[in-house]
């Protein structure tokens, strides 16, 4: 039995237990450094009298508490970040003079933040939503922020529409709900009146919007940027992050239950993976192309609602990112990190993408608002790790001001660290291009095809993935109260794929099929399938860094358990033990194992596969526990592999699964642990 906790301190005059510096603890001080004699009681007149205004310790403590919240981000409020490094595989000097890409094998510090878009800071991790994927590179020539998403396209083409998009996706203002979901009238009203959104909505209704882990999703820079080399030669570039662990998502019913079982599922997964040494890794890839390709490509490369299929421009892998350190303080780093698309370095430049142009203004503006002023760049997580020399000074929360009398230029004072000058040879230079034209508010005709790539994406999915998209549309639109909005969206789907539109209409019970929406350009039906757009076509074929849930009872088979655990270790996978009580269970050899989860707190949705390892008596006891029945029935419903032995059958019978066995059920009495793990590499038994 654990020893009772004993408090070593002394009782104060109010009876509270207290410890002091005399017990070996460091001395508490105010924010000004003044030692504090009593942090439990405010200054009063007499023992029971009114408080005194002069109590500077109380005033400072309450003042800071009153101001310890900063405005949350308007979008991407719920995020999680980690530190790591980016390693350059080979020099890219022929493409760009960006310092980060000059030296093979060089490691550059990074901070990455992943987020949902629509929900507030307290929303659950597994909402159906776009995921932010932002990386701050602390290069030797300044910070480069690659601020993207886990989807390569966006809802809108021009930043003018961004406030309307976000307003429509957020909770409806008259009622304050729904939170962290787009299944409501305002969102679908907006997108059904914005045909340019149809490609992005297709991605949002796919499994890309409910990733199994932040570690198992792709990232994209979304926009087209420019590479510029030392000779001034320019190429266009699009950025891709490829997860080394492969892509993986959950199914919708699983996402709903995960939000109930563990609303911090993605955060916890990232924290635990780094703590276990299973460092998340992505490889950075680039699609590089010239002006001729841009001119001949079917769509406008400056249109953020379009992508370039990898089959047309292959992704060249140029380096890897490894996240190997969690933050020391969530607020100071993850909450205060400020990403701005305008933060680029020599060797990179912007393009006329109208969404990117607007983001360059908006991000700087919003960070200044959130973090209190222009000096947010001096917060450690935002500060460059290379020297900073400039004449900017003062302002709210200024921490680093130049020393000496010089705070302007040009000046005639002597050269020093605090008297910098511009450098035409190595400083940032914008690309040179001739531009002319009238001032006008206009959307280029080259942006007018809103359906062709949406169709290409849908047809590139497997039959299973297409079924998930159909179900997602039905679920979301079933929450829309106004019939005309549902009908309008289906009219757009008719321009994408008639089969998809009919299945969604049937799922919604529409009495009449609407006419296809009026299209600015007819849908192209000659675009080939792109296998790179599918998750399941790019399955990782590994169980590495995944997790097996092992449900046990007293007397469980020790040999099978040992065989499976050894195979998991060889694979680089993890496991947790779930039991009827937190005390755990004894195996058949008498060894006691603590439980990682009790059955009512460790549902199967937390795991990538399950193993039920019980005695017949233990299975009968579990059969009387509702959560144990849910454990196996959910695993079955979510197409997970189920390991078992014959002794577990009473539990399966109680869950109504006694006649449901298929090839996704693995009898551990008949195969080795290694063979079991080999099956788990498929991740799901989709044939079910």
Q: Which of 143, 149, 150, 186 is an active site residue?
A: 149
Whole-Å CA distances, 504 to 127, 459, 472, 475, 508: 21, 16, 9, 9, 6
For residue 643, which of 622, 670, 621 has the smallest C-alpha distance?
670
Q: Do residues 116 and 181 touch, judged by C-beta distance below 8 A?
A: no
Instruction: Report cis status (omega within 30 of 0) of the bond before 206.
Output: no
DSSP one-letter string for 267-296 = HHHHHHHHHTT---EEEEEEEEE-HHHHHH
Instruction: Give CA torsion, residues 182, 185, 188, 191, to 10 deg.
Output: -110
Q: Which of 76, 83, 266, 450 is an active site residue?
A: 76
User: What does the block give as tokens for 607?
Assistant: 């795991």
- What sections of 547-648 are H helices per DSSP? 558-571, 616-622, 626-637
Would you put residue 306 in left (φ > 0), alpha (ψ -120 to 50) or beta?
A: beta
The CB density around residue 116, as the number of other CB atoms within 10 Å, is 25
What whole-number distance in Å separates Cα of residue 41 and Cα of residue 57? Answer: 10
Whole-Å CA distances, 88 to 92, 319, 521, 551, 635: 9, 4, 42, 43, 41
Run of H or E residues at 56: helix 56-66
What whole-number distance in Å separates Cα of residue 206 and Cα of residue 464? Answer: 11
What whole-number distance in Å separates Cα of residue 657 and Cα of residue 647? Answer: 14
Determine how β-strand 574-579 pairs with β-strand 597-598: parallel
Would you put residue 142 in left (φ > 0), alpha (ψ -120 to 50) or beta?
A: left
DSSP one-letter string for 447-514 = G---SHHHHHHHHTS-HHHHHHHHHHHHHHHHT---HHHHHHHHHHHTTT-HHHHHHHHHHHT-SSPP
370-403: burial string, b at 16+ Cβ within 10 Å, e else = bbeebbbbebebbeeeeeeeeeeeeeeeeeeebe
Q: Do residues 404 and 382 touch, judged by C-beta distance below 8 A?
A: no
Q: Give the CA count within 13 Å in the CB-facing half-sphere of 650.
A: 15
Q: In sequence order, what are the beta bridge partners of 228?
A: 234
What whole-number distance in Å separates Cα of residue 609 and Cα of residue 634? Answer: 11
What whole-number distance in Å separates Cα of residue 496 and Cα of residue 199? Answer: 9
592 catalytic residue (yes or no): no
What whole-number distance in Å separates Cα of residue 242 and Cα of residue 220? Answer: 9
User: What does the block give as tokens for 471?
Assistant: 């179900």
What whole-number distance in Å separates Cα of residue 454 and Cα of residue 199? Answer: 4
566 catalytic residue (yes or no): no
Determine how β-strand 574-579 pairs with β-strand 547-552: parallel
* Residues belonging to the active site: 76, 149
């Amino acid at each position: 039995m654990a020893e009772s906790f004993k408090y070593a301190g002394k009782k104060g005059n109010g009876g509270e237990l207290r410890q002091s510096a005399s017990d070996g603890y460091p001395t508490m001080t105010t924010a000004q450094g003044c030692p504090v004699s009593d942090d439990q009681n405010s200054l009063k007149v007499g023992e029971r009298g009114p408080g005194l205004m002069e109590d500077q310790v109380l005033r400072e403590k309450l003042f800071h508490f009153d101001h310890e919240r900063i405005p949350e981000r308007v979008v991407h409020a719920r995020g999680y970040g980690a530190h790591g490094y980016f390693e350059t595989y080979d020099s890219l000097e022929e493409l760009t003079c960006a310092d980060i890409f000059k030296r093979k094998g060089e490691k550059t510090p990074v901070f990455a933040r992943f987020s949902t878009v629509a929900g507030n800071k307290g929303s659950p991790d597994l909402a159906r939503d776009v995921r932010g994927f932002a990386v701050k590179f602390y290069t030797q020539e300044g910070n480069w922020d690659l601020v993207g998403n886990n989807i390569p396209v966006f809802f809108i083409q021009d930043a003018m529409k961004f406030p309307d998009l976000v307003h429509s996706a957020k909770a409806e203002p008259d009622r304050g709900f729904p939170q962290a979901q787009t299944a409501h009238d305002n969102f679908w009203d907006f997108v059904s009146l914005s045909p340019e959104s149809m490609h992005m909505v297709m991605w949002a209704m796919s499994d890309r919007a409910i990733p199994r882990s932040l570690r198992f999703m792709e990232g994209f820079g979304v926009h087209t940027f420019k590479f510029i080399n030392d000779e001034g030669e320019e190429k266009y570039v699009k950025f891709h992050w490829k997860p080394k662990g492969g892509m993986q998502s959950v199914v919708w019913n699983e996402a709903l239950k995960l939000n109930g079982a563990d609303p911090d599922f993605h955060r916890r997964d990232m924290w635990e993976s780094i703590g276990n040494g299973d460092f998340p890794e992505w490889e950075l890839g680039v699609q590089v192309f010239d002006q001729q390709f841009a001119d001949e490509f079917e769509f406008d490369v400056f249109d953020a609602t379009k992508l370039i299929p990898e089959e047309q421009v292959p992704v060249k892998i140029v380096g890897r990112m490894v996240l190997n350190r969690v933050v020391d303080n969530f607020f100071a780093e993850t909450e205060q990190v400020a990403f701005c698309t305008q933060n680029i370095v020599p060797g990179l430049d912007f393009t006329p993408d109208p969404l990117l142009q607007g983001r360059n203004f908006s991000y700087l503006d919003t960070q200044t608002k959130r973090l209190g002023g222009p000096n947010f760049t001096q917060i450690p997580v935002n500060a460059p790790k290379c020297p900073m020399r400039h004449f900017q000074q003062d302002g709210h929360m200024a921490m680093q001001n130049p020393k000496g009398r010089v705070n302007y230029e040009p000046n005639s004072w002597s050269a020093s660290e605090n008297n910098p000058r511009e450098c035409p040879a190595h400083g940032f230079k914008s690309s040179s291009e001739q531009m002319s034209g009238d001032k006008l508010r206009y959307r280029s005709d080259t942006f007018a095809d809103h359906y062709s790539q949406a169709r290409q994406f849908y047809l590139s999915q497997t039959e299973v993935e297409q079924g998930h998209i159909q179900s997602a549309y039905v679920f979301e639109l079933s929450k829309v109260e106004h019939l005309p909005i549902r009908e309008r969206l289906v009219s757009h789907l008719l321009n994408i794929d008639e089969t998809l539109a009919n299945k969604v209409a049937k799922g919604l019970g529409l009495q009449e099929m609407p006419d296809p929406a009026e299209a600015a350009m007819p849908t192209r039906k000659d675009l080939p399938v792109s296998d790179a757009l599918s998750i399941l076509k790019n399955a990782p074929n590994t169980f590495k860094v995944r997790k097996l849930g092992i449900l046990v009872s007293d007397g469980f088979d020790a040999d099978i358990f040992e065989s499976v655990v050894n195979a998991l270790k060889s694979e680089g996978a993890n496991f947790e033990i779930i039991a009827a009580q937190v005390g755990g269970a004894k195996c058949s050899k008498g060894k006691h194992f603590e439980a990682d989860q009790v059955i009512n707190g460790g549902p199967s949705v937390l795991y990538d596969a399950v193993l039920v390892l019980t005695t017949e008596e233990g299975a009968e006891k579990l059969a009387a526990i509702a959560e144990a029945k849910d454990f196996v029935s959910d695993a079955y419903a979510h197409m997970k592999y189920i390991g078992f032995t014959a002794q577990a059958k009473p539990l399966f019978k109680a869950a109504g699964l006694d006649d449901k066995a298929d090839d996704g059920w693995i009898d551990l009495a008949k195969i080795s642990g290694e063979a079991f793990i080999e099956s788990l590499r498929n991740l799901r038994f989709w044939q079910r």
